Amino acid sequence: MVAFGGAGPIHAAQLAKELRIPRVVVPPFPGVASAMGLLVSDLKRDYIQSHFAAIEDASVDEVQSHFEAMEAAAGKELEADGIPVGQIRCDRALDLRYSVQKYELTVPVADGALEDSHKSRWRELFDARHEQEYGTRASDQSVEIVNYRLTARVLLPKPSAREHPRSGEDPRGALKGSRRAYFEEWLECPLYERERLNHKRRVEMPYGDLREFISALDGSHELRRVEEAHWDLEIGAIAELNYERRGPALLFDRIPGYPKGYRILTNAVETLRRSLLSIDLPLDLGMNAALEAYEKKIASYRPVPPQVVPTGPVFENVLEGAGIDLEKFPTPRWHEDDGGRYIGTGCVVLMRDPDNGGVNFGTYRVMVQDKNTAGLYITPNHTGAIILRKYWEKGRSCPVAVSLGQEPVMFLASAPYLGEKRGVSKYDLAGYFRAAPVEVVREEVTGLPIPATAEAVLAGEVAPPEVEARPEGPFGEWTGYYASGTRLEPVIRIKRLYHRNDPILLGMPPVKFRGATAHFGIPVESNYIKEKLQKAGIEDVLDVWNLAVPGVTVVQIRQRYPGHAMKAALAASGVYMGRFVVLVDEDINPRDPEDVLWAMGTRCDPETTITILKSCQSSALDPRIAPERKLKKDFTSSRAIIDACKPYDWIKEFPRTNVASRELRNTVLEKWQDLFPRGRKQPAN
């Protein structure tokens, strides 16, 4: 009996067929979190089913006894096949994805038990599936097959911190709302259908905290643990390389110089699949379907205010005075030329507007200065900087709280990746996307509502810069550049430090972003620009896409009248840190750089169809603004509008393209499938 970790039941059957293995058993486990398949020589389906059918509604003790029986049976089967195995173990753990308890049976297979030909064929099939889903072969990304194991998991209701079913009660009584409905559907589902149901709804929102999201990542095969990586540059470089390769989320532990359990999560929501996981959308959506689902969710927005609770896990450790020590956390130095260690990259910085009392939070960079002081830099035009100046103008310090590890939807609302909604409480926005109120507790020092389940929170105040400022930076920013050197910036005087046992920092270090997305795998900025154009009354906006972040926005329209293209371009030119707005016709795919460049090269006349706009709002992080202008606080730049549409006044006389029509393409593709297998990427028409 040989188990291939990472192969789902369907893939296991395909693999067995390719390897000419005569018998395949896909065990009807009530949830296969590792989604493995078994390739066996002689193991009866009814043997496995009899065990798992018996424990469907069993007690914990009964489950344990069944697993002990399985341990013995599995060991005998392996020995009968002549495969040397290591120690078989049965572990009990929490699986927060389903609000259940999980029992895991692991049977390690010794090295050399698998034939090289099987490993080679497995690699080929894995590559093919990886290429179909991600566009690259796994071997190109240095993916290694490192483990072969049999893992069986069984789902039972898990008593949560607030829902403790008493012994002997129906476990479903501990579940409420959508979780109960899902669990009842799961119970009624035939055993062989449960894997499909688990794939359909791999996790259940809302996540209670960052740890539950990590559990969901793990259960969806989107997490890899990394040990012994150094905080000084190594973690940052690994995260950057992982981003470029579209790898899994990474959880760093055993960081040299720090206790085991003091961890850092990076690359949390960078891919499409992990982004869908973070905002409760189906994981099998493609990019177009994901954008459509996101647009519908944004359009249906209703505020879900936070819920104040008396206490939370964030208070597991409360430090003040001499006990405050920022240096206890394994804060990375992310980039080679960074001026220090930045603890706040995926953070949420909370403030209260002194004029209207509203609570605002944003994601700004926070640098470790010493044990009880942190540097804070906010671009001058951001809301946080405006609030700071309001306090300073009154001669007051600004109360500030910084959450350093929270479920990603809070970061997404903060950054903001969930839409630019002026006047909308970000707590309300996060609550809407997580389908439940964010639980908050009142922090004593600042009076601010902080996430009750945050991993760590700094609480203090920011004095006016003339009272206290320290050197801050440089820092490698989201533009892919060091946009500034070391400057005097305000600091947070930390008066209280809260953290959970074994805290986890959420790291979102800026890198040179590639394509239309940055930290979030759904290109929501493109959606925001499209929504803005539609609200401005621009007709027939078909699509908007950022070919580069920041700087290059492509707008696809169906021209209706003279000046239509310029009207759309002017409406799109106010994009933050924008540089170029390119207009294309409906026959040009705005998401295909080659198609856009072809339109620019054949439909744009540089003398008459390129327009320059001056004195547009930019940012202090703009690498193209000269140093002397930055010293004068002149954060403006120009924009270029490139009209790559056919000239409207003679559009009907514009030469036709020689590209085969969509109808002809579809006919040929259908007839000649041996030449063009389904799934192979075809040029867009």
Among 2-6, 75-79, 231-235, 512-516, the minimum mean pLDDT is found in 2-6
Tens digit of pLDDT for each residue in 221-251? Answer: 899 999 999 999 999 999 999 999 889 999 9
Asked if residue 528 lies in contact with residue 517, where contact means CB atoms within 8 angstroms, the answer is: no
Nearest-angstrom CA–CA distance, 122 and 139: 12
Tens digit of pLDDT for each residue in 126-162? Answer: 555 555 544 555 444 433 333 333 333 333 333 333 3
The residue count for the chain = 685
Does domain 284-500 correspond to CATH entry 3.90.1300.10?
no
Of the CATH numbers 3.40.630.30, 3.40.50.10610, 3.40.50.2300, 3.40.1670.10, which one belongs to the domain with range 524-670?
Answer: 3.40.1670.10
What's the alpha-carbon Rg for the chain, to the nearest Å?
28
Asked if residue 632 lies in contact with residue 618, where contact means CB atoms within 8 angstroms, the answer is: no
Nearest-angstrom CA–CA distance, 209 and 309: 15
The pTM of the full predicted model, rounded to 2 decimals, is: 0.68
Assigned token pair, 84: 């040397």
Mind giving me the DSSP string for 372-440? TEEEEE--TTSHHHHHHHHHHHTT-PEEEEEE-S--HHHHHHHTT-S---TT--HHHHHHHHHTSPPEE
Nearest-angstrom CA–CA distance, 538 and 560: 10
Nearest-angstrom CA–CA distance, 3 and 21: 13
pLDDT at residue 489 greater than cutoff 90? yes
Mind giving me the DSSP string for 598-614? HHHHHH--HHHHEEEEE
Calculate the CA dihedral of residues 169, 170, 172, 176 and round it to 10 degrees. -50
Tens digit of pLDDT for each residue in 601-655? Answer: 999 999 999 999 999 888 888 888 898 898 888 988 999 999 999 999 999 999 9
Highest mean pLDDT among 66-70, 281-285, 650-654: 650-654
Question: Can you point out the beta strands (E) in 323-372?
Answer: 342-344, 348-352, 359-362, 365-370
Counting residues of the chain whose pLDDT is more than 90, the rounded percentage is 50
Counting residues of the chain whose pLDDT is more than 70, the rounded percentage is 68
Closest CA to 475 of 332, 685, 607: 332
Residue extents of the structural domains in the chain: 284-500, 524-670
More confident residue, 352 or 297: 352
pLDDT at residue 450 greater than cutoff 70? yes
Residue 220 binned pLDDT confidence (cut-offs 50, 70, 90): confident
